[in-house]
Structure 1
């Protein structure tokens, strides 16, 4: 056998060995369907702290509830894509009282992402690949200032430019419950001049949003704070006011 043939055989052996090593070490990335499972009959119940501003925005109150999210049916969206209908039901925070209707929203699972439409606002909640540092513009479908008309707030005016990012993965304890394989998706963490300083308070805003998903369960935690603070002016009797809302929710039960 010639030296050239020997070299070719050696090169082929090294190539095959190298390819074999890469194949053995390869671990497929998690998929969005692992963290956002959907099927008719699935339900998750959350405890919710809802921050609201009362008395013309001059006072802050936190209202507490239990809210159950139940997938009750399917439909087709305006692009003829399979979409799941989620019924929300609400009751007292301590679990007492009957469930009351709290509206519906829609989940459209796609091959590489999951879209959720709530109050006519479409958000890409999660997207492949599920990897640390992976980001996407989850609010790209939203208009400018989506909450300005309903809540009178300037906070979140440009939230359609937010970068959703997979920040961390691991086991977590959330409100006393242990979860395995949880991904945290950070959407925004912008706080300006809040809480307002006691002396000479100026305009402040809160745009904080993050979600946590557990493999095989789905959303187990959400922190969503969209509000701003206006110092007192002459045209409002120098009354400082807040506008917007806040939601903190965590899972307490699922099937």
Structure 2
């Protein structure tokens, strides 16, 4: 759960951003925030275990629910989005995390686990590039793999099939795409894969998310395998 000082969070449930749903060039049209809005996802998670040389797979569901608004420490209107999780549709939802969205005129800041990202910017046009992870702590080595990512808009207003549903007008945000060597063909060389992207549908929100990060660091004479994790999220229901 993200810890946020209550001293800087003043609840203001009736104070909301006016979303320009008629302007498809505005990122707010792809992230419509209002209390009560939800999106439900099928989630496929993977873990690469380099000790047992096994790739574990896990299926579950998540729901993003816009629960409340508040003012942050810069007095900016922000939204608290509860993340609920369950194994199957037959199980009860349980609160798993909270994400904070701060929609400003030029950019959308998102805070998760006390880490701040710039997930979208204006204008929304093909080829637009920005440093989405530039607000990360620069002196923390734990975030080194996140530094330097160049977020890029692709396929603006194009249809997208997320594997569960098709959406007519979307925008893809390619966050990073880095690959070095293939362990299958270069078993003696260091390699890694780091890919991340999100797809947003007009007047819906995020309808697809894919993230994969594994590292292959071979030791001569040993059995070497990948270590890492990944997740795919597909929107299956929303209001």
1:146-201, Cα deviation, whole Å (9 max, x unpaired):
7x75xxxxxx734321111111121122214120111111111111123x126633
Per the TM alignment, residue 73 of structure 1 is displaced from its structure 2 partner at its CA by 1.0
Residue 44 of structure 1: SS of its match in structure 2? Answer: strand
Distance in 2 (alpha carbons) for counterparts of 1:114 and 1:242: 34
The answer to whether the 8 A contact 2:23-2:29 is kept is no
Q: Structure 1 202/55 Cα, relative in aligned 2: closer, same or farther at 3 Å?
A: closer
- When normalised by structure 1's length, the TM-score is 0.77
1:37 aligns with 2:32: yes
240-249 or 203-212, which deviates more: 240-249
Structure 2 counterpart of 1:120, from 109, 114, 117: 114
2:160 counterpart of 1:172: yes
Match of 1:244 among 210, 213, 228: 228
Q: Distance in 2 between matches of 1:79 and 1:201?
A: 51
Aligned residue for 1:97? 91
The 1-side partners of 2:184 and 2:72 are apart by 47
Q: Does 2:98 match 1:111? A: no
The aligned length equals: 217
* Alpha-carbon distance, 1:137 to partner: 0.5
Partners of 2:213 and 2:62 in 1: CA distance: 20
Q: Does 1:71 align with 2:66?
A: yes
Residue equivalent to 1:130: 124
What residue number does 1:191 align with? 179
Preserved contact between residue 57 and residue 243 of structure 1 (Cα < 8 Å): no
Mapped to 2, the partners of 1:145 and 1:158 lie a distance apart of 13
**Structure 1 segments of 4 or more deviating over 4 A?**
none
Distance in 1 (alpha carbons) for counterparts of 2:151 and 2:186: 35
Partner of 1:223: 210
1:161 match: secondary structure: coil
Whether the 8 Å contact between 2:50 and 2:227 is mirrored in structure 1 is: no
Structure 2 gaps of 5+ residues are 1-21
Q: Where does the alignment leave 5 or more consecutive residues of structure 1 unmatched?
A: 1-26, 150-155
Of structures 1 and 2, the larger Rg is shown by: 1
Separation in structure 2 between the aligned mates of residue 107 and residue 57 of structure 1, nearest angstrom: 39
* CA deviation map 1:45-87 (0-9, x unaligned): 1111111134746321111110001111122222221111111
